Each structure stands twice: as C-alpha cells, then as structure tokens.
Amino acid sequence: MEARCYIEEDLLPLSGIQHFAYCERQWGLIHIENQWEENVLTAQGRLLHKRTDDPLLKETRGSLATTRAVPVVSYTLGLYGVADVIEIEKSDKKGSELNIVEYKRGKHKPDDRDEVQLCAQAICLEEMMGISLSEGFLYYGETRHRQRVAFDEVLRSRVRTLAHRMHELHARGETPRALKSGKCRNCSLIGICLPGLGNANSKVNSYINHLLDELKEESEVIP
C-alpha cells in the first residue's frame, strides 16, 4: 500500500481502530454517528483505564521509570490517541529500553483487536521519537496476565490497511451495514444497530419491488 501522510484536520481517534478491527459497523456507529451505549464490559474497561489515564501517575522504581497516559500521534496512519503506559528500563549493558503497555479488562480475546490497537500506538511512538519497537505488551485485568505482542510486518500491514479504510469511510461519512454474527452478543451497540433487521429489511424491500413489478405489468396490459 502506498505510504500516506495525513494532516492535522484528517486525524481520527486511535481508540477507534479496536472497534473497527472488531466490527466496521460498530466503529461507524461510534465514530461517524456518535452513538455509544455502555454495558458491563465497557464500564469495567473504563474503570481499569481510569487508573492508567491519570497523567500525574509517574513513578520510578529502581532502574524502571513508568509514565502513564502518554499522548501519541501518527501522520502516516492519520491517528491520534493515548498510550496507557510507557516503561523505560535503564541498564548499564543495554542502555535504555522502551516498552509500551496497553491495559485491558478481561482476558485475551479470540480476535486481534487488542494487538492492532497496541501496534498502532507503537507506530505512533516510532514516528514521534524516531525509534523502532519490535514488541509491546497487553495487560489483562481479569487474568492479571501480561502478554507479549510482536510488531511484525503482518500486524503492521493490518494496522495500515484498517487505518486507511477508516479514513476512506470517514471521508464518505459512510457507516457500514450490519453483518449479524456471534460478535453481536457482546456488542454494546446491539440495541442501536439492530443487526437482525438487516435481512428483514432486504426481505421487505424485495417484497415491495415484487409488488411494484406486478403493478407495472398490470398497467402495461390495460388498454
């Protein structure tokens, strides 16, 4: 894909890429139509983030310095947001090593939305600081597990593709259509999205089209 460079006015919230990776329509409802419904899952996630989002929470323990809620931006992705935690480990042998950590409620998910969001934040940091990050970490609140994520080319390419499509849809103001799937069960927007109506709507449309065709045929045979 051709490398792009967005300007300030084009920037979209980075947090949206996790919604987009999960369901394009969910992202469209939140970021194009400004719809949001909180459920238990999103409320728990908000509480977990509250702790990491306090910009005053900086601490140093021995050789490890931790900074929370760091603003990040990438003009090649056209995204801006906040990285939960940046850790800088100082060592006499290796110099300074920077780690990026994203806090999530629950446990590891069967899809890649968390990895995608973390990698997008890493690309932001790379651009801002002129560094290269080979890996980062996801911390899951429910399992208290810290998972390593490799920023390989497959993941980076997926992030670029998702960000590019987000910009295309946002520029057209287009919210993707609902595709009902197992994901809808845990979706906080199911009451707004009404994914079950997708097929019902198309059935109604085809019935109306059928009636119109019949009326047209009848009007053509009337002398």
Minimum CB–partner distance for residue 18 and ligand SF4 (Å): 13
Residue with Cβ nearer ligand SF4 (25 or 49): 25
Pick the binder of ligand SF4 from 26, 74, 117, 121 (CB under 6 A): 26
Residue with Cβ nearer ligand SF4 (173 or 182): 182
**Euclidean distance between CA atoms 102 and 121, whole angstroms:** 9
CB distance 148 to 108 below 8 Å: no
Minimum CB–partner distance for residue 1 and ligand SF4 (Å): 25
Confirm or reject binding of residue 21 to ligand SF4 (CB under 6 A). Answer: no
Phi and psi based region of residue 106 (left: phi greater than 0; alpha: psi -120 to 50; beta: remaining):
left
Give the footprint of ligand SF4 on residues 151-210 (CB under 6 A): 178-179, 183-184, 187, 189-190, 193, 195
CA distances 110 to 17, 72, 85, 183, Å, are 16, 27, 23, 11
**Euclidean distance between CA atoms 191 and 184, whole angstroms:** 10
Residues of the shown chain interacting with ligand SF4 in the complex, contacts defined by CB under 6 A:
23, 25-26, 29, 178-179, 183-184, 187, 189-190, 193, 195
